[in-house]
Structure 1
Amino acid sequence: MPPPQGHPRPLSQGQTPTPAAGPPPGPVPGPPPHGGHPGPPDAEHGPVWRSVHKITPILNAWQVIAAVIAVLVVQALQQASQIPQLWSLVQRYRVTAILIILGVVLLVALVAGIYSALAWRRMKFAVTSESVDLHSGILFRRQRHARLVRIQAVDVVQPLLGRLFGLAQVKVETAGGNESNVVIGYLKEPEAQAVRNEVMARAAGVAVPESGAAATGPAAAGAPSAGAPGTSPPVIAAAPERQLLRVPDGRLVASLVVSPSLIALLVALAGLVVAAYLADNPGPIFAGGPGFIGWIIYLWGRFAGEFHFRVATSPDGIRLRHGLLETRSQTVPPGRVQAVQLTQGPLWRWFGWWRVKMNVAGYGQSTNNQQNSGVETVLLSVGSRADALTALWLVLPDLGEEDVSGLLDAAVEGTGEGAGFWISPRRARWLDPLTRRRNGLRITRTALLMRSGRFVRSLVVVPHERTQSLGIEQGPLERAFRLANLKAHSVAGPITPVAYHLDDVLARDILMEQAERARTARAAEGPEEWMRRVGVPAAEPADDGQPGGGHSGSAQPGGAPAGGPGTMAP
């Protein structure tokens, strides 16, 4: 039975997207559930400052507390030989020891309480028509100012401790890197969702009223407020979404077991066993213990971070939800993805699985949470070829080619010059005996496609308007063989777009042509506020006063249902 009108048609195994008429879904602009009409920002009142939850300073300081406890435990273990003497001394002065311990506990609790009260009074945030502001700090005061036009993504994150208290953080990722990002939290989870909705609506160019029927957070105690008396922050209904992809947990576990890292671990363990046999000493095997433990930690980080992975589309952009202990709800606005990479390991070919990553400004910087480092740049943890092409379609609905099926066949699995790919010349076989015919570059009307890898297949797609700059790299051997690597510079992230070992003359010609092509694409891209391009109505508070309303559906411009088939319909 054919799917309902407006729903993307799923791809079967091996099937590729084909062009279809109609507006692109998901990230392509569509009216959110905020009624009204776009208009100029309200400049009559200043920002309404809001405070975070009162236990936020304590939750933020838990890492410091854990580090202090770890130091004390290590010190105690180092002095283990003196424990009998200390225990006898405690027994002799039992009452005094109990009083000292209670005094230390009360002193720590008093200091922590005073610090939390002062830190909470100084921690306040505001969302205006121009920026997201955050003030914090007692001795060293900090002010964060994130302009709406520079916002790359907005996440709602619930760490394990936050989930125990029903609290969440709102992370506003900007193009300036980790130091310029704004982390608002902790807030009640519904309040965090409401703040995310408000930030996304304002960043999209939707006029949001300065006051609403309900507040997303209490007014900061003693905080300045230039708004009208009695006003409260607006409650914005979440933009409707439609789930497109879901990764079963069993598939995630199986993909980790047959991942390329497993092959590397088995090869390393085999080498250690051989070394131990030749040396007639089991020492090398025990020496590999830390590496094995590191691999287990890596697998756990992947599993916990990508657990229950779901991908949805909405007028706000691409919605990603995942996480086991720490849950993360990401919203990446349209056009913020700088590059996309599809990869497939050798063992994944048996199952037809692919992994999709992305470069987004702000996500590529180092984070304080090293366990989940890199998870935020995953667009699809593991899926079929159809799933991977659907994820690519969300970022780039139009590949700029009439024969989309033939282009994608040659890009993800092909070799040679099929579909118009430029490959490494024959003289490059001395440097690339196995991957020479797999290395390739294809330029379409809308993007650069760079493929590489014989054992681990890779396809990198960079939209022309997202090309930051271009460069040519040549080593001494490459100069001797008249070869060059063409590199499209992107923001910091897991993807490095490179076309390997092209003819050096061809690489220089492409460099000049692509620079002009990227400049023209950036000039025609339009305003940053994507919802203003189609005259999206201004925001109104949710009818029920609760964030997350309005999920029943929405319409694209022209009456097409949201999530309808686009130029490259999956």
Structure 2
Amino acid sequence: MTVTGDGWRRVHPASPFVRGWVALAALFFFFGRDAFERLLRGDPIFDERFAERAPWLLIGGGAVLLLTVLGYVLSWYFTRYQVADGYVRVNTGILFKQQRQARVDRVQAIDVLQPLLARIFGLAELRFDVADAGKSAVQLAYLPIGEAKELRATILAQAAGGPPMPAQPGEPAQPAAAAVEAPEHAVLTVPPSRLAGSLLLSEQSVGIVIGAAASVVLSAVTDNRGFYFYLIPAGLGLVAAYWNSFIKGYNFTAAVSPDGIRLRYGLLDTQAQTLPPGRIQALRVSQPPLWRIFGWYRIQVNVAGYGTEGSQGQASSRTTLLPVGTLAEVLSMLPLVLPDPGTPDPVGVFTAGLKGIAPAAGKPDRDGGFVTTPRRARLLSPLGWRRNGFTATDTVLFIRSGRWWRHLVLVPHQRTQSMSLQQGPLARLFGVVDLVLHTTAGPVAPRLIQAGLEEGRALLDAQSARARTARKRQHSEHWLARAGLEHAPLEHAPLEHAPLEHAPKEGPQHA
């Protein structure tokens, strides 16, 4: 760690080389390609004209290499960061200066990433997102792994309401005091065999099987073997997608600590996420048809700043709270996001949302209080009308849908940003309406489909009132301050983790 005289810090000196190793590899490949090809053919490495070209190659290659290294060194020299006065500031740029700063108390999630080359050198990238940033507000690449964890703990301590390090009179602002990383309690680990099995039984596999069956039928009917060749690129693409998903989700572990939910995963490139409690905007539990054989589920979440950042694969991995898990593991993860489910029977409500279906006429109601699509609209969704429904507790709105692809969406009342009722011509004919809830961007799109017109209107009014009331209860951005623990050391703060069976005894409300 390098500390400048004005209190700013620099990243590790090897950072630009770890980031730009591809450019160096391309440079060596360009100048050594001919010699390598001759070596493979068994010819002499240097031909008779090498003596004439050697000085120019050395001068040209040396100049390019020198300029590249000089650019890396200057990039490192002019990249500085500071954590002080409630802000994280990063200065970059050689000719064109840029300073990025973000409020620490607006932090949404913190990641520590270690690409393969960075792991070899013991380095890590620190990246954290803030509300309304649209993308990562700060990326520090690369820091020693110990320093990255220490800085993450410091940022989380200040985001939780801890006192920042004050500057002395007449002295420049100093970096924030280092905080000790809070202890954690392991919740679950996804076995690699289950992860591989979930990929083989995923929705993509269903598509490949259907495509293969169609190719066989078309080949038999038309006596044209060319249809088989269409499966080759599809199969190669599927294998590549499976491998990418497997190495990203490998060794997935979840733990809970006073500073939030900690997720770790990755085979070659490892990533450690920290999601502060209460910052998840919406949650979806889903179950593809083939996963029902083993009772597996997937949990995805919306977090501010995550949904629109990076590539689709990167955003998907960062918004996955559980790639594949059993019902018991789902029920162990939900309290981390929803410490107070707002109902005396949380297990019953969750189970009804995941597996329930409205009873047939004359049957006893064991559906957990879900209000489903009216019987008059069953022609619009012959298979799903008894599944599509909602219920509301004191703290959360539950929306379920899908008979074959099961989905359960949970939206805390205070996270509802806006709502709208939508009704097309057919929905108007059958007297049903869709209710759309707007949260931050992400994989979860809360939408109640084909609710009765009166039930939809009543839910719109009731949910608006519940959202206003819930937002009034939330006065601080500091989660420790909300719990009355602003003076408690972070490492000794109690876990925000209440088992579902011990949820607060509050009666449910149905809109």
- Shorter-chain TM-score range: 0.7 to 0.9
In structure 2, the partner of 1:43 is none
1:210 Cα offset (Å): 5.3
In structure 2, the partner of 1:364 is 307
In structure 1, the partner of 2:509 is none
Counting only pairs closer than 5 Å after superposition, residues 108-147 of structure 1 correspond to structure 2 as 108-147=64-103
For each residue in 1:242-288, what CA deviation from the matched residue of structure 2 results, as whole angstroms up to 9, or x when unmatched?
A: 10111112211122122222111111122223333334333332233
Q: Report whether the alignment pairs 1:291 with 2:234.
A: yes
**C-alpha spacing 1:277/1:567, structure 2 compared with 1 (3 Å):** closer
Q: Are 1:397 and 1:568, in contact at CA under 8 Å, matched by a contact in 2? A: no
Q: Report whether the alignment pairs 1:54 with 2:4.
A: no
Please give the alpha-carbon distance, in whole angstroms, between the structure 1 residues aligned to 2:496 and 2:407. 28
Q: Are 2:432 and 2:452, in contact at CA under 8 Å, matched by a contact in 1? A: yes
In structure 1, the partner of 2:508 is none
Please give the alpha-carbon distance, in whole angstroms, between the structure 1 residues aligned to 2:493 and 2:429. 58
Secondary structure of the equivalent of 1:135?
strand
In structure 2, the partner of 1:250 is 193
Secondary structure of the equivalent of 1:420?
coil
Please give the alpha-carbon distance, in whole angstroms, between the structure 1 residues aligned to 2:430 and 2:175. 68
Write the letter of the residue equivalent to 2:17. I
Write the letter of the residue equivalent to 1:397. P
In structure 2, the partner of 1:460 is 409
1:208 Cα offset (Å): 3.6
1:456 Cα offset (Å): 1.4
Write the letter of the residue equivalent to 1:288. L
In structure 2, the partner of 1:404 is 346
Please give the alpha-carbon distance, in whole angstroms, between the structure 2 residues aligned to 1:151 and 1:170. 13
In structure 2, the partner of 1:273 is 216
Please give the alpha-carbon distance, in whole angstroms, between the structure 2 residues aligned to 1:313 and 1:237. 16
Q: 1:498 aligns with which of 444, 447, 468?
A: 447
Give the gaps of 5 or more residues in structure 1: 1-45, 213-224, 541-549, 557-561
Q: Are 2:418 and 2:438, in contact at CA under 8 Å, matched by a contact in 1? A: yes
Q: Are 1:343 and 1:458, in contact at CA under 8 Å, matched by a contact in 2? A: yes
Counting only pairs closer than 5 Å after superposition, residues 351-390 of structure 1 correspond to structure 2 as 351-367=294-310, 371-390=313-332
For each residue in 1:446-488, what CA deviation from the matched residue of structure 2 results, as whole angstroms up to 9, or x when unmatched?
A: 1110001111111110000111111122233222322211111
**C-alpha spacing 1:532/1:563, structure 2 compared with 1 (3 Å):** closer
Q: Which protein has greater RCO, CA pairs closer than 8 Å, 6+ apart?
A: 1
Q: 2:474 aligns with which of 515, 525, 529?
A: 525
Counting only pairs closer than 5 Å after superposition, residues 301-316 of structure 1 correspond to structure 2 as 301-316=244-259
Q: Are 1:132 and 1:148, in contact at CA under 8 Å, matched by a contact in 2? A: yes
Please give the alpha-carbon distance, in whole angstroms, between the structure 1 residues aligned to 2:438 and 2:97. 36
**C-alpha spacing 1:402/1:282, structure 2 compared with 1 (3 Å):** same
Write the letter of the residue equivalent to 1:227. P
Write the letter of the residue equivalent to 1:93. R
Q: Are 1:173 and 1:362, in contact at CA under 8 Å, matched by a contact in 2? A: yes
Q: Report whether the alignment pairs 1:197 with 2:153.
A: yes
Give the gaps of 5 or more residues in structure 2: 359-364, 504-511
Q: Size of the alignment, in residue pairs? A: 484
Please give the alpha-carbon distance, in whole angstroms, between the structure 2 residues aligned to 1:475 and 1:61. 53
Please give the alpha-carbon distance, in whole angstroms, between the structure 1 residues aligned to 2:502 and 2:190. 20
**C-alpha spacing 1:282/1:100, structure 2 compared with 1 (3 Å):** farther
In structure 2, the partner of 1:477 is 426
In structure 1, the partner of 2:487 is 537
Secondary structure of the equivalent of 1:173?
strand
Counting only pairs closer than 5 Å after superposition, residues 192-271 of structure 1 correspond to structure 2 as 192-209=148-165, 227=172, 234-271=177-214
Q: Are 1:357 and 1:495, in contact at CA under 8 Å, matched by a contact in 2? A: yes
Secondary structure of the equivalent of 2:47?
helix
Please give the alpha-carbon distance, in whole angstroms, between the structure 2 residues aligned to 1:450 and 1:420. 12
1:509 Cα offset (Å): 2.3
1:139 Cα offset (Å): 2.9
**C-alpha spacing 1:329/1:94, structure 2 compared with 1 (3 Å):** same
Write the letter of the residue equivalent to 1:506. E
Q: Are 1:443 and 1:449, in contact at CA under 8 Å, matched by a contact in 2? A: yes
Which shows bigger deviation, 275-284 or 322-331? 275-284
Q: Are 1:52 and 1:123, in contact at CA under 8 Å, matched by a contact in 2? A: yes
Secondary structure of the equivalent of 2:307?
coil
**C-alpha spacing 1:483/1:124, structure 2 compared with 1 (3 Å):** same
Please give the alpha-carbon distance, in whole angstroms, between the structure 2 residues aligned to 1:93 and 1:64. 28
Give aligned-pair identity as a percent: 39
Write the letter of the residue equivalent to 1:321. R
The RMSD of aligned alpha carbons is 3.0
Q: Report whether the alignment pairs 1:148 with 2:90.
A: no
**C-alpha spacing 1:179/1:143, structure 2 compared with 1 (3 Å):** farther
Secondary structure of the equivalent of 1:138?
coil
Q: Are 1:397 and 1:569, in contact at CA under 8 Å, matched by a contact in 2? A: no
Secondary structure of the equivalent of 2:127?
strand
Which shows bigger deviation, 449-458 or 179-188? 179-188
1:300 Cα offset (Å): 1.3
Please give the alpha-carbon distance, in whole angstroms, between the structure 2 residues aligned to 1:362 and 1:285. 43
Please give the alpha-carbon distance, in whole angstroms, between the structure 1 residues aligned to 2:228 and 2:426. 38
Q: Are 1:170 and 1:196, in contact at CA under 8 Å, matched by a contact in 2? A: yes
Which shows bigger deviation, 460-469 or 415-424? 415-424
In structure 1, the partner of 2:396 is 447
The TM-score with structure 2 as length reference comes to: 0.87
Q: Are 2:437 and 2:447, in contact at CA under 8 Å, matched by a contact in 1? A: yes
1:538 Cα offset (Å): 6.5
For each residue in 1:2-50, what CA deviation from the matched residue of structure 2 results, as whole angstroms up to 9, or x when unmatched?
A: xxxxxxxxxxxxxxxxxxxxxxxxxxxxxxxxxxxxxxxxxxxx98311
Please give the alpha-carbon distance, in whole angstroms, between the structure 2 residues aligned to 1:267 and 1:530. 49
